[in-house]
Amino acid sequence: MAEPTSTTLGTTEQGQERNKAFDLLDALSRSGALSIDNASLHVVIAATHCFDRSLMDTVVQDNINPIEKVEHSSLIVATTIQGKSAAELTKPDQKQRLELYSSNLF
């Protein structure tokens, strides 16, 4: 397998990739000759979290709560996708707790 790569798409590249997706849809539907009924689009975003130690060592020896790290990452992804602030996406009763370790998002 190839090594993982990371790429940031600018506005022009995003437009080109969107056009490629529509070209593929056009080809699959034979330029509209085949109807695509009851179809839906699902986008899956995966994220992984790596720690220097095992999960138990991270919790016990480093005194780090891994859930806080995951919630922080999830908030970053959600604010980017939804185009809303973390405060808008957070339940009021959870806002104070999340601000403790994700203050830069609020």
Across 92-99, average pLDDT: 92
Q: Which of 22, 8, 101 is nearest to 63 (CA)?
A: 101
Count up the domains in the chain and report the number.
Answer: 1
What is residue 83's predicted lDDT score, i.e. its pLDDT? 93
Q: Is residue 88 part of a domain?
A: yes
Q: Assess contact for 55 and 66: CB atoms under 8 A.
A: yes
Q: Is residue 27 part of a domain?
A: no
Rounded alpha-carbon distances, angstroms, from residue 29 to 13, 19, 35, 43, 64: 24, 15, 7, 20, 51
Got the DSSP string for 34-68?
S---S-------------SS-HHHHHHTS---HHH
Q: Is pLDDT above 80 for 84?
A: yes
Q: Is residue 5 part of a domain?
A: no
Show the domain range for 65.
Answer: 43-106
Q: Is residue 75 part of a domain?
A: yes
Q: Is residue 6 part of a domain?
A: no
Q: Is residue 52 part of a domain?
A: yes
Write down the pTM of the prediction. Answer: 0.56
Q: Is residue 29 part of a domain?
A: no
Q: Per-residue pLDDT tens for 39-68?
A: 888 888 777 877 788 889 989 999 988 888
